[in-house]
Amino acid sequence: MRIIKDKKVLVTGGAGFIGSNLVERLLEQSNKVICLDNFATGKRENIKTFLDNESFTLIEGDIRNLDTCKKACEGVDIVLHQAALGSVPRSINDPITSNDVNVSGFLNMLVAVRDQGVKRMVYAASSSTYGDSKSMPKVEDVIGKPLSPYAITKYVNELYADVFAKTYNMELVGLRYFNVFGRRQDPDGAYAAVIPKFVKSLIQKESPVINGDGSFSRDFTYIDNVIQANQLAAVTNNKEAVNTVYNVAFGERTSLNELMLHLKELLIQFDNDIAKIDVKYGPERKGDVPHSLASIDKAKKMLGYDPQFSIRNGLEQAIEWYWNYFK
């Protein structure tokens, strides 16, 4: 697999879950890495081990400030733009801040990348862009209407990227992430992702709450698959492979009930009593897409994407990290 090596790389949101995993891999591959983060959702503990590395630079700042973005992009070869306010419920509760960060902040980054002459930017798009589309699996060219303010912001990112690529001759690649999970994923926030939330409840012997009847399904995607996709998108020499968007997933669908069974099976190796914990069912969440399954054919064909971790493989890798974190 082609990797990013001996480059100067900016990772926005580099103290977040996905960002910090990208930073770690990039440092291992002899790159100079700049992390831009305002720590609104990123965590200092995620980057603590990098601070003494002479190849690592932290810029504490906000993508809503254009001057900060321009400073962070100075002399950079590649930008991996992960900074955003995630979460559908958060965007429903506070659409203005989600828009400011995800749209205005994204526009600032595009301008900074353009003005500083950065060769390529790979940005985090989202499977939420598929909205109310009923087609399965999800294919990049067929989307529906967005179901949340968050989904709108991520679709607007794609529209801006398309216009900037054509207008300013830039190289931009969007990666539509499907339900990423793995080490360093925040289990404690109000808008925690479902896997760390369920794991936390089970370890603490509390009944996990599933929104709906558990039949809703997702294409859960392990963090190492996402790292692979970012690297391939950043280094491809195929001009036809840039200035477009790709699904980043494993290409399998797992219901929330099936997910719960996986988690219980893996956690009872640490504590047998977890098998006895009952699951509670609550109301469906507003803005939730019922089912999500990605076609990854385009990424395979154009980028050589070859995800190595199914949900089960990924959970086997992540479960010890989760256990140690909560214990």
Full set of structural domains in the chain with CATH: 8-181+222-251+289-309 (3.40.50.720)
Q: pLDDT tens across 140-149, in order? A: 999 999 999 9
Q: Which residue has the tokens 């589309």?
A: 133
pLDDT at 285: 78
In this prediction, residue 289 has a pLDDT band, given cuts at 50, 70 and 90, of confident
pLDDT at 1: 75
Question: Cβ distance 83 to 37 under 8 Å?
Answer: yes
pLDDT at 4: 97
In this prediction, residue 309 has a pLDDT band, given cuts at 50, 70 and 90, of very high
Q: pLDDT tens across 195-213, in order? A: 999 999 999 999 999 999 9
In this prediction, residue 139 has a pLDDT band, given cuts at 50, 70 and 90, of very high
Q: Which of 57, 49, 180 is nearest to 127 (CA)?
A: 180
* Selected residue with higher pLDDT from 191 and 27: 27
Q: pLDDT tens across 249-271, in order? A: 999 999 999 999 999 999 999 99
pLDDT at 188: 78
Is 214 a residue whose pLDDT tops 80? Answer: yes
Is 180 a residue whose pLDDT tops 90? Answer: yes
Residue type, 86: G
Is 88 a residue whose pLDDT tops 90? Answer: no
pLDDT at 37: 98
Euclidean distance between CA atoms 301 and 236, whole angstroms? 12
Mean pLDDT of the chain: 95
Euclidean distance between CA atoms 240 and 245, whole angstroms? 11
pLDDT-above-90 percentage for the chain = 89
Neighbours of 288 (CB within 10 A): 15
The active-site residue out of 150, 155, 222, 322 is 150
In this prediction, residue 288 has a pLDDT band, given cuts at 50, 70 and 90, of confident
| Mean pLDDT (whole number) for 317-321 | 92
DSSP labels, 266-323: HHTTT-GGGGGPPPEEEPPPTT--SB--B--HHHHHHH-------HHHHHHHHHHHHH
Is 281 a residue whose pLDDT tops 90? Answer: yes
Euclidean distance between CA atoms 3 and 40, whole angstroms? 30
Q: pLDDT tens across 101-119, in order? A: 999 999 999 999 999 999 9
| Mean pLDDT (whole number) for 301-320 | 96
pLDDT at 176: 98
Q: Is 322 annotated as catalytic?
A: no
Question: Whole-model pTM above 0.85?
Answer: yes
In this prediction, residue 192 has a pLDDT band, given cuts at 50, 70 and 90, of confident
pLDDT at 187: 79
Q: pLDDT tens across 4-56, in order? A: 999 999 999 999 999 999 999 999 999 999 999 999 999 999 999 999 999 99
pLDDT at 29: 98
Is 190 a residue whose pLDDT tops 80? Answer: no
Euclidean distance between CA atoms 216 and 281, whole angstroms? 12
